[in-house]
Structure 1
């Protein structure tokens, strides 16, 4: 085989699946082949490359250093081919764009606004996928992400939509019990065990610093795995929670929560990040969605509840 020729695609698929899944048996199941067929393809590939890709310990296969690097390149290449196929199919079949965001953002802000989105952009077909593992780079199965991040990477195709603002919120019945009103000092939170999320322990200290409060005096109470659960607990009157303004504005407007101390800006921004390799149609729809999100975010802002740092 010359250096510019390609190995057998069948052999590459067998090798990549084995490396990714950890065994020839798992690769055989994934590719609907026999274990023997997978083994023969890998041996043929090693013979063609004239170097071993796996070290064999009995029946166990362990990637060599060169094999690991080659497997990573194969996975990237297959991912690119899958993405190219999806782009081609969408261009011809009008398949929906696949977008992801956290479950909390999807449930508390996006879903209530989807009827408006569907009315105003009727040709835009979307499939939303909840994802509670924030990342600044879209995965192979996602066309774009709507994500809060304070570490956006310049090379990514990203559109910054809004600055994140956070603040304490609580149920009106709890506020009445605690004697909290719009004129109460923000120091009131220091006397209470504070609800928080385990995934974002820095939120309360971040708010305290920007509100001129000693963060060492904060008393963290019950923690919740996800922000959605935290806000449900706050609405049930279980305590004072810290939350992004975007995710509680509907609850504040309906009277389920109040935000007596307003909101402060953080270093994070809400951004729409699209993957590389999108076709012209997908890029146009992402741009239209970005325009709609930007307009909707601007119109839903409530300056009267804001408090700058």
Structure 2
């Protein structure tokens, strides 16, 4: 019974010799001897019953059958190489695209990327800073890390992480720090506090939670983004308000102090995905985030 296909090694040797126009060069490319390539070619010629090469002066020339087999083998090996490369690419998981507000990205996520790489070594993140909120389809994202509260979009699966807590912070460099450090929360009614347009309800909520009339709130310098607000606070420009998790490193280093504590806002940190997304990296990332935030 005849073989349905010639030996693969013989085809490789023939294809290289036909493409390079030399048995010696084919042997060099394949890292075999000149004799091995010649034997492979003879194997094909014997199986076919016709020559594939003829002598042409001091070199070799392809016969009509040789030309046909060269083209067939060349196309086949090219297709195999392309397909194999695609399979290798498919084995490598694509980057997990995580969107989050710029302030969370800069002050919480980026400082923990080294730890993430150690704890979840197979997770490759692509981080996307989002300003102005997320659309219901989470377009272009595998997940969003954010702080919010119900009701959530109906097309999302929401993985709660920790409750959000906010509180005022002030730098020891602030001119009124000694006076404010031991003052009650009501003393902030006399301060022109720093604030951000991205969280207009943060100060009123905190005042109300501490039993201080929010009507006494005096707003000082305002900033478009929370990141800039906190940089101003660290520089000693005034009292700012922020989520506890975003200033924890500043509190631990002494750059900022929180004399009046933090209160729950009713919101929460959450990892949000499109409903029904089966990606196994999602629960693993949610578990890691929950542990780090806790």
Q: Same fold (TM over 0.5)?
A: yes
Offset from partner CA, 1:46-73 (integer Å, 9 cap, x none): xxxxxxxxxxxxxxxxxxxxxxxxxxxx
* 1:138 positional shift: 4.6
Among residues 282, 285, 291, which one is paired with 1:289 in the alignment?
285
Counterparts in 2 of 1:177-256, with a 5 A limit? 177-181=177-181, 183-256=182-255
Q: Which of these two proteins has the greater Rg computed from alpha carbons?
A: 2
In 1: Cα distance, 2:241 partner to 2:290 partner: 24
Shift of 1:116: 0.6
Distance of 2:173 and 2:237 partners within structure 1: 10
What SS does the corresponding residue of 1:164 show, helix, strand or coil?
Answer: strand
Structure 2 equivalent of residue 159 of structure 1: 159
Structure 1 residue runs of 4 or more that deviate by more than 4 Å after TM superposition: 89-92, 175-178
Q: Structure 1's 210 and 119: CA in aligned 2 closer, same or farther, altered over 3 A?
A: same
Deviation string 1:249-271 (CA, Å, 9 cap, x unpaired) is 11111111000000000011111
Equivalent pair of 2:137/2:155 in contact (CA under 8 Å): no
1:118 corresponds to 2:117: yes
Cα 1:90–1:221 change in 2 (3 A) is farther
Say which SS state the counterpart of residue 174 (structure 1) adopts: coil
Gaps of 5+ in 2: 1-87
How far apart are residue 198 of structure 1 and its match?
A: 1.2
After superposition, the Cα gap between the structure-2 partners of 1:177 and 1:262, relative to the gap in structure 1 and judged at 3 Å, is closer
Summarize the alignment of residues 132-143 of structure 1 with structure 2, pairs less than 5 Å apart: 132-135=131-134, 137-143=136-142
Deviation at residue 96 of structure 1 after TM alignment = 0.6
Deviations 1:151-180 (A, max 9, x none): 323552110101110000010121654512
Q: Any idea what SS the aligned residue of 1:269 has?
A: strand
TM-score, with length taken from structure 1: 0.63
* Counterparts of 1:243 and 1:214, CA distance in 2: 19
CA contact (8 A) 1:167 1:244 kept: yes
Alpha-carbon spacing, 1:185–1:90, altered in 2? closer, same or farther (3 Å): farther
Contact 1:161 1:294 in 2 (8 A): yes
Q: The residue matched to 1:292 in structure 2 has which SS?
A: helix
Residue of structure 2 in register with 1:65 after alignment: none
In 2, the alpha carbon distance for the partners of 1:195 and 1:137 equals 32
Equivalent position SS for 1:179: helix
Whether the aligned pair in 1 keeps the contact of 2:168 and 2:242 (CA below 8 Å) is: yes
Aligned to 2:267: 268
Q: Over aligned residue pairs, what C-alpha RMSD do you find?
A: 2.1
Using a 3 Å threshold, how does the CA distance of structure 1 residues 124 and 90 change in structure 2: closer, same or farther? farther
**Does the C-alpha gap of structure 1 residues 109 and 238 become closer, same or farther in structure 2, counting only changes over 3 Å?**
same
1:145 offset after TM fit, Å?
0.1
Q: 1:223 to 1:158 in 2, by over 3 A?
A: same
Partner of 1:99: 98
2:265 & 2:257 partners in 1: Cα distance?
Answer: 20
Separation of aligned partners in 2, 1:188 and 1:170: 13
In structure 2, do the counterparts of structure 1 residues 138 and 102 end up closer, same or farther at CA, with 3 Å as the change threshold? farther
Match of 1:170 in 2: 170
Give the aligned length. Answer: 207
Whole-Å separation in 2 of the counterparts to 1:210 and 1:220? 18
